[in-house]
Structure 1
Amino acid sequence: MSPDDQPFVAVDRERWARLAAAGDGRAPGAVPPAGAAATEAPADPASWAGDGEVDARERVEVLAPLAALAARRREQDLDGRAGLGALDDALVRGGASARGWVVAVAGGVAAGKSTVARALVAELRARGIGPVEHVSTDGYLHSNAELERRGLTARKGFPESYDVPALRALLQAVRAGDGTLEVPVYSHRLQDREPEPRTIDRPAVLVLEGLRALAGPGPDGDPGVRDLVDLGVYVDATEDAARAWYLDRFHAWRVAAADDPGALLHQIADMPDADADALALRVWAETNAPNVRDHVLPTRAHADVILEKDADHRVARVLVRPV
């Protein structure tokens, strides 16, 4: 293990895979029950989301064990909240009856956060621990109009472009078990917030996914969100791999926009391929890469589990922070 891995320990895939069976009684390598996932919240079509699916082996050997760990940690945390709350409600964020639990899935642009988050949601739902919802921090980006008003259009995706107080308020409400909550939704098709939010109602587990899912205090000293996260996951990839995946996703979005006049990328659908790729790579070099290096990658240190991916999107190594 490299000194850079501290304070994490590396767990090989065979050993990690055994956690799934320990967590729910399934035989090692058994495929999760089919049809166990509830209906997902409305989202962009797959072509706009730009994410693939986790193959069966990755699901069994990586995501099922992660869900088992999350389920066990949640059980222990809720027991701990009840015990502390019996002494004094003030010792528990949200009070002794707080039952909501938050998993964060962070990582760089195009690293595969959404794919991991959706698969984790399905695995957790299959375990029957209660309603599980997936929320993206992208929804908490200020609208394009608001970014323009604030002079932040070129800083979209950077810490100051998010409505962090609203995101913190959501996590606090989830932890406290508050009723129907409105959640803003980001459209990759529009590259902006959807006009209408969606609603969630008392999730047992909220899987929060995005660049800012493990963010600490902002540049102005405002609180971040990581102190409201119960289990942090970081999806890690080299910059070269992420750039290639970003370009692949851009190609898919551009194809989807060709026959969709309402899509933001429709205006470049007829641009020569070389020019379109040059535009995408300029956005990567000037915006995405610096943002990841300066503001996203540092949040890796606050994760409980790191999934290190190879260039083929498969998880090559799992790093775990010992309890």
Structure 2
Amino acid sequence: MVNNSAYTLYLREDWKKLSDFTAIQLSEEELTDIQSINDKISIEDVNEVYLPLSELINLQLQASHTFKESINHFLNNDLKSGPFIIGIAGSVAVGKSTTARLLQKLLSQLPSHPKVDLVTTDGFLLPNAELEKRGIMKKKGFPESYDTRSLISFLTKVKSGVSSVQSPVYSHLTYDIVTKEYITIENPDILIVEGLNVLQTSLTINQNVPNYFVSDFFDFSIYVDADVNNIEKWYIDRFIKLRDTAFQDEQSYFKKYAQLSLEESIEISKRIWKEINYVNLIHNILPTRNRADLILFKNNNHHIDRIKLRK
């Protein structure tokens, strides 16, 4: 354990000693289902990194419940409280989705058996037609490409304890919002919100949104981090795997890439990374890293070797 600025830095060897949480079980098959394409995670990672993290979150969850009950008692209120909300941020291809799904699985197995729901901010991207109209199709995933007002409205309702709230659905196959299709969030104890820019604090010019931010609704936030060169490699590797799988689907937005040679795939994915995803990471996503409560650092093998926890 090393003290470092606003965070305490834990090496993995120290972090894994923080918990003896052995009640949670996860099979290899379940772990495989949780993993995103080209991501790597092991039972060892679960036991040494994510179980201590789950226990930490559980402690904060219980403290949050106690605090809310005390406040309601003091104010003589009987108000229904909203869920404990966890935000997960990080670059494209860094493994945010795997982290989110894994935490959903582990937290749902806590002794109190909380109901844990998961939403991604992809559902709050503006439809492709609107992005084209605004001339920002190549900035999809940048802060200005989201319907931030709707996302904040969604979180306001959830946090206020509204029993049933709908979230739009996004299709990675068609690369667009699915019209008139929604995910219904009903009284979760914990809500995980995963997305590129969930820790963003800058308002987009001319966007009519309230003067507060998505992260204002979080009780705990996580940033999944890695060296930029490693993320680029993971992005290119993922693109190549998708070329051989999802891109082959006739309905895929990226069907045009399905017949590329390996060399062409590498060249095009490098260009997309450099012109879009790298720019978004450097200018929008990475600057929000130190707003997270906890930072998970991955090495070149996706192995988490360091954890930073805000003091």
In structure 1, what is the Cα distance between the partners aligned to 2:243 and 2:99? Answer: 23
In structure 2, what is the Cα distance between the partners aligned to 1:250 and 1:124? Answer: 31
Structure 1: 4+ residue segments shifted above 3 A: 85-90, 219-222
Corresponding residue for residue 112 of structure 1: 95
Equivalent residue for 1:215, pick from 200, 204, 223: 200
User: Which secondary structure state, in structure 2, belongs to the residue aligned with residue 251 of structure 1?
Assistant: helix
Corresponding residue for residue 201 of structure 1: 186
The 3 A distance-change label for structure 1 pair 96 and 217 is farther
Corresponding residue for residue 239 of structure 1: 228
5+ residue gaps, structure 2, are: none
The 3 A distance-change label for structure 1 pair 315 and 156 is same
Q: Quote the offset at 1:275 in angstroms.
A: 2.1
User: Which secondary structure state, in structure 2, belongs to the residue aligned with residue 104 of structure 1?
Assistant: strand
In structure 2, what is the Cα distance between the partners aligned to 1:169 and 1:78? Answer: 23
Q: How big is each residue's C-alpha offset from its partner over 1:67-118, in whole Å with a ceiling of 9 and x where there is no partner? A: 111111011112222223334489xxxx853131100111111110001111
In structure 2, what is the Cα distance between the partners aligned to 1:300 and 1:211? Answer: 11
Alpha carbons 2:86, 2:220 under 8 Å: kept: yes
TM-score, structure 2 length as denominator? 0.89
In structure 2, what is the Cα distance between the partners aligned to 1:77 and 1:129? Answer: 16
In structure 1, what is the Cα distance between the partners aligned to 2:287 and 2:71? Answer: 32
5+ residue gaps, structure 1, are: 40-44
Corresponding residue for residue 173 of structure 1: 157
Work out whether 1:302 is the aligned partner of 2:291.
Answer: yes
User: Which secondary structure state, in structure 1, belongs to the residue aligned with residue 297 of structure 2?
Assistant: strand
In structure 2, what is the Cα distance between the partners aligned to 1:12 and 1:31? Answer: 24
In structure 2, what is the Cα distance between the partners aligned to 1:254 and 1:31? Answer: 40
Identity of aligned residues (%): 32
Corresponding letter in the other structure for 1:153: M
Alignment of 1:149-298 (within 5 A): 149-195=133-179, 196-220=181-205, 222=209, 223-257=212-246, 259-298=248-287
User: Which secondary structure state, in structure 2, belongs to the residue aligned with residue 170 of structure 1?
Assistant: helix
Alpha carbons 2:34, 2:101 under 8 Å: kept: no
Alpha carbons 2:293, 2:310 under 8 Å: kept: yes
Q: How big is each residue's C-alpha offset from its partner over 1:51-76, in whole Å with a ceiling of 9 and x where there is no partner? A: 54631000011111111111110111
User: Which secondary structure state, in structure 1, belongs to the residue aligned with residue 119 of structure 2?
Assistant: strand
In structure 1, what is the Cα distance between the partners aligned to 2:138 and 2:257? Answer: 19
In structure 2, what is the Cα distance between the partners aligned to 1:280 and 1:89? Answer: 58
In structure 2, what is the Cα distance between the partners aligned to 1:277 and 1:34? Answer: 35
Corresponding residue for residue 108 of structure 2: 125
Corresponding letter in the other structure for 1:167: L
TM-score, structure 1 length as denominator? 0.86
User: Which secondary structure state, in structure 2, belongs to the residue aligned with residue 232 of structure 1?
Assistant: strand
Equivalent residue for 1:319, pick from 298, 308, 311: 308
Alpha carbons 1:136, 1:209 under 8 Å: kept: yes
Alpha carbons 2:119, 2:193 under 8 Å: kept: yes
The 3 A distance-change label for structure 1 pair 145 and 98 is same
The 3 A distance-change label for structure 1 pair 281 and 34 is closer
Higher-strand-fraction structure: 2
